[in-house]
Amino acid sequence: MSNIAIKVENLSKAYQLGQIGTGTISRDLERWFARIRGKEDPFLRIGETNNQNTNSDIVWSLKDIDFEIEQGDAVGIIGRNGAGKSTLLKILSKITAPTTGKISGKGRIASLLEVGTGFHPELSGRENIFLNGAILGMRKKEIQRKLDEIVDFAGIERYLDTPVKRYSSGMYVRLAFAVAAHLESEILIIDEVLAVGDAEFQKKCLGKMGEVSKGEGRTVLFVSHNMGAVTELCRSGIVLENGLCNFTGTSQKAVDYYLKNQSQFLRSEYTMSNIVSNPKFTNIELQLGGSQPSHTLQIKFKVNKTLFSTAAFAVFGIKNSASVTIMEAIPSLDNYINFENKDKVYTCIVHLNSFIPDEYTVYAWLGASEAETYDWVDDKLGFEIIDSPTPKRTFPFSTRTGSQIANSYLIP
Amino acid sequence: MVKEEEQWTIEAKSSLFDLKLHEVWAYRDLLVLLVRRDFVSFYKQTILGPLWFFIQPLFTTIIFTFIFGNLAGISTDGLPKPLFYMAGITAWNYFADCLTKTSSVFKDNASIFGKVYFPRLIMPLSIVVSNLVRFGVQMVLFLILLAYYYFSGANFNITWAILLFPLILALMALLGLGLGMIISAMTTKYRDLSFLIGFGVQLLMYATTVIYPLSTAIEKYPKYSWLIEFNPMTSLIETFRYGFLGNGSFSWAYLGYTSVLTLIILLIGIITFNKVEKNFVDTV
């Protein structure tokens, strides 16, 4: 393994679902008893993937992952929420042990799953630099040598001897990132910590990361939802799906693969199976068309045949990944929904504004008035926006600052 | 480019006896900084500052003197009562602090442990060293009291066993550390134990010769005194008293027994701690 920085073999990690704590003694005894008889652990039935629909108590957050990372490579790890990205990072950072498998590598690892771990509010900026640096694995001498650089990067010279509880949140984050960015390690693992701080600082962070991977020749693992940042900063990419490592290749190909397959993750179709006599949606189909910043969402839906004669309305709402409703599509009243002697199909066209990259869910409402709801389909359908609404802008968008952005341009 | 010793592997199961002590050594700067953090943050924004370290043992001594010494009339082997109690309290407090703080180390540090790796043993070690500062301050108080009684001609004398003080201190620290780590490892799964520890330590104090001398216990309950004798803390506190006050039951046999037991408990503590440390993030 001359040029390999990290080699992952057969890595798996199982999590126990549900409550841990009640009845664990009996369960522990059961497992222990199985082990001394040389049997397989009864709570780890091998073979299931991270499928959230099975009834088992165990979920495989990672399943038989194999990959190699070369020295000096910058690797982006992409995947949907729950694909196992964070678990992989946690295992690589030695925070939790794998259930099976092995990782070997060489070089010191520094992982940044969170900025400012171990900061103590009562201590001054200087004291926290030392404490945080030591927690991240730096020796005192090393921190001493880099102190000026860190302070300079964070831009907090004047506040160096003030307790960090008096810092603004921006200063706090800047200081924390500065310490982490100056770690001298051969391997750097970064979670989406960049989604903090102001835009200028985010750019500075991305710049620093680029410098680290390209300039200094260190190995970087970068986990992000931000496809732009991944293609820009990383040379290779790994796609995780349901705990399986489904694609490895160049970062551009990995992003393409991810985008091509994203439609199968968020359900774009809903079907009601049982037949009823009151008005319901029997089928809804979503189709995302167009491109940023003017996507179009086509919602094709079917209503059942009923004896109702009153006309009805449909309303569709769009929620972001934080389950906050961003907007509702309320079609104009030129056309009503009528229930007739046969199933009828309608299509609703929704023009989307500049949505930020995120996963969105769609709910559908059917009724005659505000007080009279016939059907309500929630959390069944969704779509994902991948591209940035502003071309070439790579800094991350966050739902904290809104799910849509206003189209804007600079006049020189 | 990369040195050979920087190769590492992460595996599902690791050897039980891989104590990772070399890693702890590599992170020794962190230990110092954590102790400093504990000390500084303790008295920041307080008026009395480190004086708070004095207040608790002082008042406990006064209360013990009144209740156990005067009201209940428990013998102090002819020693001045405040001196007798304070010797016991100072030593006991150090052990008890180490034990209780160590036993909740996973719960207290879950947020740090969940985000960054460093040898987890550093945390309990830093607790033991931090408490040493507190113990030092209380020890000063004890020595002041000792000097006061010495010059007012009270009936006690310092013996050669005072030379065993570093050993006793180390044994108290390691015993507290070992027991604390065993309990901390178990509390990550069975939270019940954290309720037990609070009053368990208090009960244990009554089974240790803090408020009575061992000689009285043997005299009054000859059948059950073995319970107290085999409590490893008893011989430590008795030796402590024997060294500083010249009165107490000192025996090499019991001290040897305590030393061996402490080392065994410490070893079990480190092993269970290291085992739990790898996966506790998933259960806590």
The mean pLDDT value for A264-272 works out to: 69
- Residue A237 covered by a domain: yes
Residues A145 and A207 in one domain: yes
Overall average pLDDT of the A400-409 stretch = 78
Q: What is the pLDDT of residue B4?
A: 47
pLDDT of residue B1: 41
Give yes or no: residues A238 and A363 share one domain: no
Reported ipTM? 0.81
pLDDT number for residue B257: 92
If pLDDT is split at 50, 70 and 90, which confidence band does A409 have? confident
* CB spacing of A24 vs B190 below 8 angstroms: yes
Residue A19 scores a pLDDT above 60: no
> Does residue A142 lie within any of the structural domains?
yes
End-of-domain residue from the set A216, A241, A262:
A262
Of the listed ranges B5-19, B169-183, B241-255, the one predicted with least confidence: B5-19
Instruction: List chain B residues with CB under 8 Å of A120.
Output: 37, 41
Same domain, A307 and A165: no
pLDDT value for A130 = 92
Interface test with B, best of A35, A94, A136 (most B CBs within 10 A): A94
Domain holding A307, by residue range, is 269-401
Predicted local confidence at residue B226, as pLDDT: 82
Q: Are residues A308 and A362 in the same domain?
A: yes
Per-residue confidence (pLDDT) for residue A262, from 0 to 100:
59
The distance of A110 to chain B (nearest Cα, Å) reads: 9
Token readout for A64 is 């038989």
| Residues on chain A touching B7 (C-beta within 8 angstroms) | 104-106
For B37, the closest of A28, A100, A120 (CB atoms) is A120
Determine the Cα angle at A203 with ends A201 and A204, to 5°: 60
Q: What is the DSSP letter of A337?
A: B
Distance, CA of B15 to chain centre: 29
Number of domains into which chain A is organized: 2
Q: Residue A22: pLDDT band by 50, 70, 90 thresholds?
A: very low
Residues A370-404 have pLDDT tens digits of: 777 888 888 778 888 877 777 766 656 666 677 88
Higher pLDDT residue, A292 or B95? B95
Residue A210 domain flag: yes
pLDDT over threshold 90, residue B169? yes
Which residues 6+ apart lie within 8 Å of A16 measured at CB? A43, A57, A58, A59, B282
End-to-end Cα distance, chain B: 40
Provide, as residue numbers in chain A, all residues whose Cβ is less than 8 Å from the Cβ of B38.
none
pLDDT of residue B276: 85
Q: Is pLDDT of A238 > 80?
A: yes
For residue A357, give how far its alpha carbon lies from the nearest alpha carbon of chain B (Å). 26
- Of A386, A393, A409, A6, the closest CA to residue A186 belongs to A6
Sheet with A187-190, strands from edge to edge, namely A109-112, A187-190, A219-223, A74-79, A236-241, A244-250
Which whole number is the average pLDDT over A23-27?
63
Look-up of token digits 């609070």: B198
Cα separation values, A100 from A46, A209, B115, Å? 11, 32, 21
Query: A401 or A163, which is more confident?
Result: A163
Residue of A nearest to B33 (CA): A131
Q: B276 in a domain, yes or no?
A: yes
Q: Encode pLDDT of B40-98 as tens digits.
A: 877 776 777 777 778 888 898 999 988 888 888 888 877 888 888 998 999 999 999 99
Mean pLDDT of A307-324: 79
Q: Which CATH number goes with the domain that contains A88?
A: 3.40.50.300
A321: CATH = 2.60.40.10
- Average of per-residue pLDDT values in chain B: 85
Q: Is residue B239 part of a domain?
A: yes
pLDDT at B45: 67
Is B184 domain-assigned? Answer: yes
Q: Kindly report whether the peptide bond that precedes residue A98 is cis, defined as omega within 30 degrees of 0.
A: no
The amino acid at residue A233 is L
B4 located within any domain? no
Which three-class secondary structure state does DSSP give residue A361?
A: strand
pLDDT of residue B2 exceeding 70: no
pLDDT > 50? residue A228: yes
Write out pLDDT tens, residues B254-267: 899 999 999 999 99
- Residues B165 and B259 sit within 8 Å (Cβ to Cβ): no
CB contacts of A99 in chain B (<8 Å) are 12
Residues A237 and A204: beta-carbon distance below 8 Å: no
- Asked whether residue A83 falls in the same domain as residue A223, the answer is yes
- With respect to residue A214, please indicate whether it lies within any of the assigned structural domains: yes
Tokens of B235: 């011989």
**In what order do the strands lie in the sheet containing A100-106?**
A58-70, A4-16, A100-106, B7-11
- Tens of pLDDT, residues A76-123: 898 877 788 888 888 888 888 888 888 988 888 887 777 777 788 888
Q: Are residues A239 and A312 in the same domain?
A: no
Final residue of a structural domain among A204, A236, A262 = A262
Structure confidence at residue A400 (pLDDT): 67
| Residue A75 included in any domain | yes
Q: Residue A323 is encoded by which pair of tokens?
A: 């389950």
**Which of A270, A284, A279, A274 lies closest to A375, judged by CA?**
A279
How, if at all, do strands A325-329 and A313-319 pair?
A: antiparallel
Across A32-88, where does the E strand assignment appear? 58-70, 74-79
Better-scored residue on pLDDT, B171 or A277: B171
Residue A252 in any domain: the answer is yes
Which member of B33, B117, B278 has the closest CB to residue A93?
B117
Cα B170 to the chain's mean position, in Å?
A: 9
- B183-214 tens-digit pLDDT: 988 887 777 787 888 889 989 998 888 888 88
Kindly state whether residue B10 falls inside one of the protein's structural domains. Answer: no
Contact (Cβ atoms closer than 8 angstroms) between residue A5 and residue A69: yes
Same domain, A219 and A284: no
Inter-chain contact B6–A108, Cβ cutoff 8 Å? yes
Is A60 a residue whose pLDDT tops 50? yes
Residue B98 lies in a domain: yes
pLDDT at residue A136, as a whole number: 85
Instruction: Note whether B207 and B231 are within 8 A (CB).
Output: yes
Residues A332 and A370 in one domain: yes
pLDDT of residue A332: 80
Joined together, the tokens standing for residue A126 give 């200087």
Residues of the domain holding B269:
20-38+49-283
Higher pLDDT, A19 or A167: A167
The answer on A287 and A197 residing in a single domain is no
CB–CB contact B41 A123 (8 Å): yes
Look at residue A401 in the predicted model and tell me its pLDDT.
Answer: 72
Structural domain contains residue A205: yes
* pLDDT value at B124 more than 90: yes
pLDDT at A138 over 70: yes
Q: Which residue do the tokens 């005192």 mark? A: A140
pLDDT value at position B100?
A: 92
Q: Is residue A14 part of a domain?
A: no
B13 within some domain: no
Beta strand pairing call for A219-223 and A58-70: unpaired
Do A200 and A309 share a domain, yes or no?
no
Residue ranges of the alpha helices (H) in chain B? 21-26, 28-43, 52-64, 81-103, 105-108, 110-113, 122-151, 165-187, 192-206, 214-220, 225-229, 232-245, 252-277, 280-283
Number of separate domains in chain B:
1
The whole-number pLDDT of residue A47 equals: 45
Alpha-carbon span A297 to A289, nearest angstrom: 6
Residues A146 and A245 in one domain: yes
Tell me, yes or no, whether B74 lies in a domain: yes
Q: Which of A262, A292, A314 is the last residue of a domain?
A: A262
- Domain match, A329 and A366 both: yes
